[in-house]
Structure 1
């Protein structure tokens, strides 16, 4: 009887500690974010049974697969990170501020983050410039190297556009530094609640469902388009929506994939809004366990063909260790495929400006940072 009493005592203490820890993290760690009001989300046709849904059946890794995935990580032999000299030139945000050409210039800031510039105006996509893709500063996937520009050094921004609410895309430390210098934040349904809790004025936030559209300054049209993915922070899953985006800037059209699995929606996007001058397509962080929600290089090529785009720049690789493949595998495979398929691929390192008029020689710049490829 004494043993049973002591057992219940310790179980009670553990339960109290867990509950206290939950509420401490939820209310004292701002990066956890805030849940949206369910009544508003229920108005969306994509919101069912308390969660946002994809339009096609979509599976992601579940708890039953965790033991196998953990075992794979333990036995992993792939090169998980580049060498320590994986450092990029600093982006000069003023370099093109006096540019008068009628062309969008792009700069890859790592992962899915892209800085767009045209005639001295700037738009920023999925700016994750923090050290870790995590709610905590001391744990979680760590960035391989510093971004080519800090949030503090970025110029004034016409718009910041987010594809979805995941730590490797929507970063608290980055966004709070962009509040004062950004005109508008464009986010999928439900994400506004977190932004408002982080101090971003409500009037600066534009919250979209798929196919919602807004015009800014008579020269920029921004449209939320379908994606096949999911969302979630520490204590929530799929209570906010996800999207890809189409940005039309004067006569130039850009497709931004953000983070998505392969699906027939690319053809629909092209039919309604294409063709495109540039496609920014994710190619990394794939695995068979979550195949439906992340494209691999072969699927990214398939998406490229559906979109009918003039140029293709790969994103979502080479910044964080988020899957079991080597850090360089996505780009290595993509370039090899592009040579067979004659893809109009641009493969520049982080921190370098490019436009649709530039041509990439597909030089393997990442090879020098790999111990495996240099053998």
Structure 2
């Protein structure tokens, strides 16, 4: 009888061990997909180690920044997001979208087309710039971060040839593997923060096509286009290991325009410093959405939106990071109301285009 019990226990232990092994193998195979990218190595890693913003094995914000302020921590907040029900996170009806023939736009006309969330096309002084395009998957798996109904109208095939692809950081909702691979042969150069180029090189992009910048570095993309890499208060990472690549905001200067792209991030002193160093910004594109008290330092809380605008003192504003995904627990249309308040209560020139609409700035 005891012998039978021991055999049964061994069999159960064997089955459990086999299941754990299979789950481990499946997990390893999943994270080994090319879409997860690659952490910096070789010469790129050596350059990263020399950055004044890299310390103790990771990039840091300008000021000490707590990522998750909730007592239950990052996993607890994620658990609540997935399993806790909340009304109004997603629209009940399909989001209105304008389907523009992007390939037949007059390239010499200064315009902007927003595709929802943080993806947009800028035409400025004869150049086409595509920022953070996510047209396929905004997460590692298709059943998470599903776009709102109607907002997936644009695909990589709809894009015209792009002179410069700008990536503000390597989170999945800003750097979509499938999108960049489908655009690979129609993009001139990739502009990204230091370390993000490792993903692109791993995905087969020639090193000569990559311009990686640390904060406060700039690059002359051609004789009429200068780009500045500037701080943001955020973090990076595509899986468990965070902050191996930098996150950033960018400012582009042409003979006729100064356009600031804020990327993702919470409020800090860098906005006022940018406003002073680069006066007369024509258009500032600011994060507005996917905020929460649990991560109030790494995303822009609504109370700070007008303060950021006041710091930058731009002529016009556009808010992004909303109207496509529910990555936080605020009502899906709350960021739109924030933009309306910025326009009406603060008397600012705020652009409020429909997704896909051609906007002249």
TM-score, reference length from structure 2: 0.90
SS, match of residue 309 in structure 1: coil
Which stretches in structure 1 are left out of the alignment for 5+ residues?
357-375
Shift of the alpha carbon at 1:349?
Answer: 1.0
CA distance in 1, matches of 2:62, 2:130: 28
Q: Paired residue for 2:278?
A: 273
Q: Paired residue for 2:146?
A: 142
Shift of the alpha carbon at 1:98?
Answer: 5.5
Map 1:255-294; keep pairs closer than 5 Å. 255-294=260-299
Shift of the alpha carbon at 1:191?
Answer: 0.9
Q: Cα RMSD between the aligned structures? A: 2.2
CA distance in 2, matches of 1:252, 1:7: 69
Q: Paired residue for 2:134?
A: 128
Q: Paired residue for 2:65?
A: 58
SS, match of residue 122 in structure 1: strand
Map 1:155-194; keep pairs closer than 5 Å. 155-194=160-199
Shift of the alpha carbon at 1:331?
Answer: 1.4
TM-score, reference length from structure 1: 0.87
- Check if 1:312 corresponds to 2:317: yes
SS, match of residue 133 in structure 1: coil
Which stretches in structure 2 are left out of the alignment for 5+ residues?
none
**How many corresponding residue pairs?**
350
Q: Paired residue for 2:352?
A: 347
Map 1:108-119; keep pairs closer than 5 Å. 108-118=114-124
Shift of the alpha carbon at 1:163?
Answer: 0.5
**1:176 and 1:7, CA in 2 relative to 1: closer, same or farther beyond 3 A?**
same
**1:73 and 1:329, CA in 2 relative to 1: closer, same or farther beyond 3 A?**
farther
Shift of the alpha carbon at 1:148?
Answer: 4.7
Deviations 1:188-245 (A, max 9, x none): 1111111111121111111110011111221111111000000111232111110000
- Check if 1:31 corresponds to 2:35: yes
Shift of the alpha carbon at 1:259?
Answer: 0.7
CA distance in 1, matches of 2:127, 2:245: 30
Deviations 1:98-123 (A, max 9, x none): 64x5xx31110111111011354311
CA distance in 2, matches of 1:156, 1:71: 41
* Residue among 31, 37, 51 paired with 1:44: 51
Q: Paired residue for 1:203?
A: 208
